[in-house]
Structure 1
Amino acid sequence: MAKRDPYDLVVIGGGINGAGIARDAAGRGLKVLLCEKGDLAQGTSSRSGKYIHGGLRYLEYYEFRLVREALTEREVLLKAAPHIIWPMRLVLPHSPEQRPAWLIRLGLFLYDHLGKRETLPGCRRIDLRRDPEGAIIRDQFKTGFEYSDCWVDDARLVVLNAIDARDRGATILTRMEAMSARRDEGLWQVDLKGSEGGRRVTARALVNAAGPWVQDVLGQVSGVNSNRRVRLVKGSHIVVPKFWDGPQAYLFQNDDKRVIFVNPYQDNLCLIGTTDIPYEGRAEDVAIDDREIDYLLAVVNRYSRRELKRADIVQAFSGVRPLYDDNAANPSAVTRDYVFDIDGGEGMPPLLSIFGGKITTYRKLAEHALEKLKPYFPAMGGAWTATAHLPGGDLGVPSFEAFLGDLARRYPWLPAPLAQHYARLYGSMAHGLLAGAHSVGDLGRHFGALLYEREIAYLREAEWAQTAEDILERRTKHGLHLSPGETEAVRTYLKGWTNG
């Protein structure tokens, strides 16, 4: 049966690039299957700095095309998913020892004008001694600059792309690993294996979007050689209680020319990162080390009046960035651009492998990937994602704030923090989650903080969530607000669900 009715595209990898390509391809009319050996966004795509940004520091490396594309994408994605992406103002204290003021002003001028900026305000100079944003900054830093970028819930961005792909006809298989892929009679024969058994599928084309594992898929799964390589760079973050007033984030320059983001996170917390360290171990084993913790604390404490200590750390996490290896000596200088590699001659089903990329440009990367595959699928539709909402992003009102107000009016029994939570994570899909509920009691068992049984059921049924980590770390951030006992209660509940 599989040979008579092959998929057009099998995508290996359920991170942002794989999910984005599956969504775009399904919307063009292709028959798509995406397989992911773990959970969606379980690797790099849930461990980013959580920014949709142009990459201000990339200007120093003359990455003008990448910065322009990323700046343009800020506006596209902000319109597509205003519930999980929103504007953020960043304050950059001027440190003359790192970069002269004229260079920062020039960089910010380019940042404001390289891309298509429609809704985000431009940069401005601020007096750190008088403006409220300077209240936490040490006295020796007198001048600062403020500019715009966007925050994103990275793991949810992946899930929303997968949902849209599914809704457009794609098959999404999580916890299903591609064990081998071989060409046979003009098709790819792909063997998949999961906890409940295996299956073989056939496809006219194969996309390798495995991120840090892209070379493993090339060599061990498909047996294809490529001259291109990924360079693994570890980036680590720490989470501490928020220690300033106001919605702004901060960008601190270090004396090694790197910059550290300090961002509001989950209302009362802040996210600090990231490091840039060459990594040669298994991507699955990545973890923050003591040197990275000391590094991040030292950069923040150089600028902040409130000195942070190790005891302040609530959580830490690390990710491996699969950057395209351009032979740069400095890990921070390695390009964040993406490169495609196509294997397949005349009459052979193609294998498209993706090297590099960043979360901001995933949608454009997907468009470019489909352009590369166009010769193999001449009848497929054209590009469409630039003007399409992601699931939940069609709020029906001019702003997220207006949507939140409408949600509160429609469900007056919903406590304000819970309404905010549902609006932010699910956007217009919150109505489906809340369908038939008329009181908090209708949400089922309360596990602590803002987590109720109904949300767990929704995530299992609609978003491929299976484990406590899927729910508490990736689909939501409830895990940051639950006690160890409450977290264990969720695990026990899910075991009962599975056994039942």
Structure 2
Amino acid sequence: MRDLQAIQRRTYDVIIIGGGINGAATARDAALRGLSVLLVEKGDFAAGTTSWSTRLIHGGLRYLEYFEFHLVRESLREREILLRTAPHLAKPIQMTIPIYGGGSRSYWEIQAGMVLYDILSYDKSLPNHRMLSPKKVRQLFRSLDPEDAKGAAQYYDGQAEYAERLCLEILIDAQAAGADVLNYTTVTALEREGNRITQLSLHDQIAQQTYTVALSDQTVVVNTAGPWVDRVLGLGQRDGHAAPIGTEPKIGGTKGSHIIVDPFPGAPNTALYVEAKSDGRPFFIVPWLGQYLIGTTDLRYTGDLDRVKADDDEVDYLLRETNRVLPTGHLTRKDVRFTYSGVRPLPYSEGKKAGSITRAHILYDHTREGVRNLISLIGGKLTTHRQVGEEMTNWAFQQRGQTPPPSPTRHRPLPGCIWLDDPRIAAAVEQYRDRVPAASLDHLFQMYGACAIAVLALVDDAPDLAQPIVDGLPDLRAQAVYAVQTEMAHTLLDITRRRTTLAMQANYGFDALPALTETLVKHCGWSAERCDREIQAHHTFMAENCIPDYALQSEGMLRSRKAVGAASE
């Protein structure tokens, strides 16, 4: 249970608004360096941009074209740190760039870019690139469009299959260092006095309670709300009257959409980084947990940030461009298993093409707008979250008139850090092999790392938790209980979309709802009424954010939703 009275009584050094990966990294870095930290998130952790990414830990090869060498070097360094400190969540992935005569980049231009990429990643543990001849490409990728093929480049980057769990582990480490982290806590006002924020008004959606947190003259506020940065700045008040912070927009968001499909004829064994033939935009076709993740688009977005959806044109665009690269695929709308879309919190930039806006992050100090203890993050990538956290914490110390001590996060492993040859894995397999399927044991260590041992321990006291949530998938009922008891999950969506990937692999999560509600009633004290509300909320979210509009019109999808509702009663 949350102790809101204790939070009200406590004086914090740093208050962070926004519980995506950059806010989480800031909370972790600050807490580990001895600062008292409060982080609040209006929804669930990682429910925004963090959850809607392409799930790559990459250096940003295309940023070289815009001469952003510092950003590429920073990203490549951070990629290496993640591969070392979170090997269960950040894994090497081979990328292939097919090169065509009609493309915007020649064979030699791409080769020069690959050489520079290797130079900038001089301290990497991954192999250097290699160039492939047209003959070699035909041997390795028989399904690639052969017309005017000039060869290919192959290199390695990183993949975060469970980006939401990466954010969660960072927050758990922050908690262990003393930070208070609260999801489902909305900031309703930033009270200003003089040139400072002096009080935050908060609404706890779990307890349905509104309260305030007072700031000392040393407290700093960090705005890592992603696309919602401007909305937070608009919450400024003086003496109960609106007093927004700043007058110019800071964020010029662009929308990125993805689709997920099952394996298809000619599907590649490695990730492809390809150029769309219709508009030249680069996009990815990435193997992901037995499926393929395809995206992304890059469109200006000014709509509702809480209801972002891949529209039918975007889905058709990604299907069409994938079929052009892999003609044997013959992908259609019926092959789409899941879609998701999010907004990149890029700097506001009037008139620029979406793809040319810098991906480098900006720490915006609001002293110039009359508030000296507030800083906002503009931009920020999944890959560079740790660096953002370090920079934010350095700023916090400087604002407090203190010299920042060294950050420990460059070398500190995340809580689940474990290597495949760790004897704990073999011991757990031996202990649970007669109760838990081998595929589930492997899945748990891939997803939770060392924390899988705590998930498995739940089976000792409740053998029924070794049952699968959905037949044919490796997720166990124990994961749902662990999510609620240990990982601050409060809703079915928290479990299906962010503690597991069931929403993306089990018919939008609908197939998982009967087993989940049964388990949560039995082991976590959920009432039947709560389960009914959660099921309805799950359906509503999927319809508004993930199920394509064309699919919502189909009788099959409607029947599926009705069947799930009936089975869960």
**TM-score between both structures, scaled by the size of structure 1:** 0.92
Rounded to whole Å, the distance in 1 between the matches of 2:422 and 2:175 is 29
Q: CA shift at 1:495, angstroms?
A: 6.3
Q: Conserved in 2, the CA contact under 8 Å of 1:181 and 1:221?
A: yes
**1:319 aligns to what?**
342
Range moving further from structure 2, 435-444 or 258-267: 435-444
Residue among 66, 69, 72 paired with 1:61: 66
1:191 aligns with 2:222: no
Q: What does the per-residue CA deviation read over 1:61-89, in whole Å, with 9 as the maximum and x for residues that have no partner?
A: 11111111001111001111100110000
**2:292 aligns to what?**
270
Q: What does the per-residue CA deviation read over 1:162-221, in whole Å, with 9 as the maximum and x for residues that have no partner?
A: 111111100011101011111359762111102221221123111111111100111224
**1:147 aligns to what?**
155
Instruction: Letter of the 2:486 partner, please give it.
Output: A
1:30 aligns with 2:71: no
Q: CA shift at 1:151, angstroms?
A: 0.3
Write the mapping of 1:170-189 to structure 2, written as runs, cut at 5 A.
170-184=179-193, 188-189=198-199
Q: Conserved in 1, the CA contact under 8 Å of 2:101 and 2:150?
A: no
**What are the ranges of 5 or more consecutive residues in structure 1 without an aligned counterpart?**
none
Write the mapping of 1:54-453 to structure 2, written as runs, cut at 5 A.
54-98=59-103, 99-127=105-133, 129-130=135-136, 133-140=140-147, 141=149, 143-152=151-160, 153-184=162-193, 188-195=198-205, 196=207, 197-203=209-215, 204-221=219-236, 223-225=244-246, 227=248, 229-243=250-264, 244=266, 247-255=269-277, 256-267=279-290, 269-304=291-326, 305-327=328-350, 329-344=352-367, 350-377=373-400, 378=402, 381-393=405-417, 395=418, 397=419, 399=420, 405=426, 407-413=428-434, 414-435=436-457, 437=459, 441=463, 443-448=465-470, 449-453=473-477
**3-state SS in 2 of match to 1:385:** coil
Going by fraction, where is strand more abundant, 1 or 2?
Answer: 1
Rounded to whole Å, the distance in 2 between the matches of 1:293 and 1:347 is 44
How many residue pairs align between the two structures?
Answer: 496
Rounded to whole Å, the distance in 2 between the matches of 1:416 and 1:247 is 24
Rounded to whole Å, the distance in 2 between the matches of 1:473 and 1:390 is 21
**3-state SS in 2 of match to 1:19:** helix
Rounded to whole Å, the distance in 2 between the matches of 1:27 and 1:439 is 34
Q: Conserved in 1, the CA contact under 8 Å of 2:57 and 2:158?
A: yes
Instruction: Letter of the 1:263 partner, please give it.
Output: V
Rounded to whole Å, the distance in 2 between the matches of 1:404 and 1:208 is 39
- Assess, with a 3 A threshold, how the Cα gap between structure 1 residues 480 and 340 changes in structure 2: closer, same or farther: closer
Rounded to whole Å, the distance in 2 between the matches of 1:424 and 1:277 is 34
**3-state SS in 1 of match to 2:346:** strand
Rounded to whole Å, the distance in 2 between the matches of 1:2 and 1:44 is 27
Q: CA shift at 1:242, angstroms?
A: 2.0
Range moving further from structure 2, 284-293 or 326-335: 326-335
Q: CA shift at 1:390, angstroms?
A: 1.1
- Assess, with a 3 A threshold, how the Cα gap between structure 1 residues 262 and 3 changes in structure 2: closer, same or farther: closer
Aligned residues: CA RMSD = 2.6
Q: Conserved in 2, the CA contact under 8 Å of 1:94 and 1:143?
A: yes
Q: What does the per-residue CA deviation read over 1:318-339, in whole Å, with 9 as the maximum and x for residues that have no partner?
A: 0111101244621011111111
Rounded to whole Å, the distance in 1 between the matches of 2:475 and 2:9 is 46
- Assess, with a 3 A threshold, how the Cα gap between structure 1 residues 485 and 56 changes in structure 2: closer, same or farther: closer
Q: CA shift at 1:306, angstroms?
A: 1.9
Rounded to whole Å, the distance in 1 between the matches of 2:338 and 2:21 is 23
- Assess, with a 3 A threshold, how the Cα gap between structure 1 residues 457 and 379 changes in structure 2: closer, same or farther: farther
**3-state SS in 2 of match to 1:451:** coil
Q: Conserved in 1, the CA contact under 8 Å of 2:198 and 2:214?
A: yes
Residue among 527, 549, 559 paired with 1:499: 527
Q: Conserved in 1, the CA contact under 8 Å of 2:8 and 2:212?
A: no
Q: Conserved in 2, the CA contact under 8 Å of 1:473 and 1:479?
A: yes
Rounded to whole Å, the distance in 1 between the matches of 2:350 and 2:126 is 35
**3-state SS in 2 of match to 1:231:** coil
Rounded to whole Å, the distance in 2 between the matches of 1:178 and 1:101 is 51
- Assess, with a 3 A threshold, how the Cα gap between structure 1 residues 320 and 3 changes in structure 2: closer, same or farther: closer
- Assess, with a 3 A threshold, how the Cα gap between structure 1 residues 495 and 182 changes in structure 2: closer, same or farther: farther
Structure 1 segments of 4+ aligned residues over 6 angstroms from their partners: 1-4, 345-348, 400-403
**3-state SS in 1 of match to 2:410:** helix
Q: Conserved in 1, the CA contact under 8 Å of 2:92 and 2:158?
A: yes
- Assess, with a 3 A threshold, how the Cα gap between structure 1 residues 485 and 75 changes in structure 2: closer, same or farther: closer
Rounded to whole Å, the distance in 2 between the matches of 1:361 and 1:485 is 35
- Assess, with a 3 A threshold, how the Cα gap between structure 1 residues 156 and 436 changes in structure 2: closer, same or farther: closer
Residue among 469, 478, 491 paired with 2:493: 469
Rounded to whole Å, the distance in 2 between the matches of 1:46 and 1:3 is 30
Instruction: Letter of the 2:323 partner, please give it.
Output: N
Rounded to whole Å, the distance in 2 between the matches of 1:303 and 1:10 is 47
Q: CA shift at 1:245, angstroms?
A: 6.5
Q: Conserved in 2, the CA contact under 8 Å of 1:445 and 1:452?
A: yes
Q: CA shift at 1:461, angstroms?
A: 1.3
**3-state SS in 1 of match to 2:100:** coil
Q: What does the per-residue CA deviation read over 1:345-364, in whole Å, with 9 as the maximum and x for residues that have no partner?
A: 89976011111111111111
Rounded to whole Å, the distance in 1 between the matches of 2:64 and 2:248 is 28
Q: Conserved in 1, the CA contact under 8 Å of 2:192 and 2:236?
A: no
Q: CA shift at 1:401, angstroms?
A: 8.6
1:41 aligns with 2:49: no
